[in-house]
Amino acid sequence: MDSDNVNNVNDERTTPEMEIKRQRMEKLERLRSEARFDPYVIDRWDKKHKLSFVHEHFSHLGPDELDKEATIRTAGRVMSIRKHGKASFVHLEDDSGRLQLYFSFDSLGEDKYEWFKKWVDTGDFLGIEGYPFRTKKGELSLLVTEFKLLSKALRPLPEKWHGLKDTEVRYRQRYLDMIANPEVREVFRKRAKIIKTFREVLESHGTLEVETPILSPIAGGANAKPFITYHNALGINLYLRIATELYLKRLIVGMYERVYEIGKNFRNEGIDSMHNPEFTAMEVYWAYANYEDMMNLTEEIIVACADAMGGRQLPYGEHIINYEPPFRRATMVDLVKEHCGIDFLSITDEDARRLAKEKGLDIKGNESRLLIMTEFFDNFVEEKLIQPTFVLGYPVEISPLAKRDPDNPDFTRRFELFICGAEVANAFSELNDPLDQRERFLDQLKKKEAGDEEAHAFDEDFVTALEHGLPPTGGLGIGIDRLTMFLTNSSSIRDVILFPTMRPKE
């Protein structure tokens, strides 16, 4: 060990937390030697009741009333201890809530009560038996008649038991966040309910859940920079998937008519309040459907999720988001005209480039007016779309996998759903013309060769699949993390991902 590392270790040992750890390590040694008890040997406790069970079934008890007919057998973590001579009050917590325990000389006897006072600390896990009662001050509690130390905590609870506010620590050590902030556990229960709702809606429409590869020889299905890894046995580079789209559409070619997948995608991009390199998305594909069917399905899923969260008017920051259908539907052309005062269908490419430069947009000078329109939308319109809004009419240039609009071939049958200024869903009438698909992949390949790291890769096998015939198909992707943010009033994507990507500690 070098001298710098020695200094770091010594510094750590002088922190209050490490001093508490040192004291508890000594206590553990004494517990094993003096009391001949090892808490880590215990491998089971028959927990029959959640703490919430007591609140749900014994709230009728009046002050100083004890129910000796009901023996409660429970377990949880000790969150606080108040010792008062021959009686002590403990707050025990499990994943259903918190309850006060009453340890007394009279109910336990001298030996057991003194054992409790000597060896039990905050953070420890206890198995408990006792009777429900209400104290004179009116707090529902358990009179403890038996207890067992199930596990010893060698470190103190966060911030001396008064909560955990440091966001860096909260995200890096999520277990501490959950101990200190029970409302965080509730957010992830809601996230699980949202995902369950997705499945219920999709399966009610006869949609089959499937799994597709996470490692792929080509990173396709989206315009994004992938993570690259290397497979030793095959001697090739592989990519963590950026989307599930191309594999799912192969399944439609293979005669499944409705499929979906909920899973992780990975994009080697920046991290901010709306982006995490590893994120969860749902993608669904229905044969014989189009993007309007996907719009209706999107609405159905999100309304069902809002209902599962308690209503269709839900807060997000300073806004109340209205999830009552139907959501607004508007074209990108009309929204840019509404918010920027420019009709990109009535100006030339040269006019569009001049306007872009006047607005300070970074352009190369050879972009089309429709491509520049998307820049105006990204920079000046998105953030203003607070209430759920379906944006229709995306240009072909930025939609390499979407079917062209036969009434206006410069545009595609595509929409994106925006909530609170962020994209939540993206859907197409899927391009099923293999000749058109090949040409669009070639165009994307030129952009990639010109330095665009997010341009779509050329996927020859996918084109081959299309040549075997893909029926008219509607496809949809929804970002589960972002939707969960908005439905749970969470300000950052890190608040709804259990273990978000973090820079390693130096």
Residues annotated within the binding site for Mg(2+) are 416, 423
Q: Which one, of 206, 281, 210, lies nearest residue 243 by Cα?
A: 281
Residue 147 contacts residue 74 (beta carbons within 8 Å): no
CA 230/CA 237 separation, integer angstroms: 4
CA pair distance 281, 273, nearest whole angstrom: 17
Separation of alpha carbons 175 and 395, rounded Å: 45
CA distance 487 to 506: 35
* Alpha-carbon torsion angle 312, 319, 376, 431, nearest 10: -20
| Strand spans (E) along 119-183 | 125-134, 140-151
Phi, then psi, of 281 in degrees rounded to 5: -135, 155
Asked whether the beta carbons of 124 and 28 are under 8 A apart, the reply is no
Asked if 417 and 424 count as a contact pair (C-beta separation under 8 A), the reply is yes
Query: How many CB atoms are closer than 10 A to CB 436?
Result: 15
DSSP state of 493: G
Binding residues: 416, 423
In 3D space, the residue among 121, 38, 29 whose CA is nearest the CA of residue 80 turns out to be: 121
CA 139/CA 182 separation, integer angstroms: 20
Burial 344-372 (b: 16+ CB within 10 A, else e): beeeeeeebbebbeeeebeeeeebbbbbb
Helix axis angle, 245-253 to 460-467, nearest 10°: 30
Task: Please spell the DSSP secondary structure of 89-136, one letter per residue.
Answer: EEEEEETTEEEEEEEEHHHH-HHHHHHHHHH--TT-EEEEEEEEEE-T
| DSSP for residue 384 | G
Length of the chain in residues, anyone?
506
List 433's β-bridge partners, or say none: none
Backbone torsion region of residue 444, taken as left when φ is above 0, otherwise alpha when ψ lies between -120 and 50, otherwise beta: alpha
Distance, in Å, from the CA atom of 167 to the CA atom of 11, rounded to the nearest integer, reads 23
Alpha-carbon span 290 to 288, nearest angstrom? 7
